[in-house]
Amino acid sequence: MALALGVVYVIVGIVGFLPIFVTSGSTASLPSATGSLLGIFPINALHNVVHLAIGAALLYGATATATAILVAAAWA
């Protein structure tokens, strides 16, 4: 499960930096957003970096039981 979620988080983090998937402009309800992913989800660069970090942690936690325990303890 951690492997699948980690892959999804990393993909979403990478796609957030690709201009082809991001519409420009902020929304009225979230002025800090620099664009919308797929025209639906407001995002900015920090948001993308957080997705990449969470994805990397989940991928690291999926490698062995000891690392899974470490990631779960850091997450909690």
What total of structural domains would you count in the chain? 1
More confident residue, 55 or 75: 55
29 part of a folded domain: no
Per the CB < 8 A criterion, the answer to whether 62 and 68 are in contact is yes
pTM, two decimal places: 0.83
Tell me what pLDDT residue 52 has. Answer: 97
Residue 33: CA count within 13 A, CB half-sphere? 18
pLDDT at 51 over 90: yes
**Domain residues for 8?**
2-22+34-75
What are 3-38's pLDDT values in tens digits? 999 999 999 999 999 989 888 766 666 666 778 888
With CA atoms as reference, report the closest residue to 68 among 55, 58, 56, 53.
Answer: 58
Tell me what pLDDT residue 66 has. Answer: 93
Q: Which amino acid is at 61?
A: G
12 part of a folded domain: yes
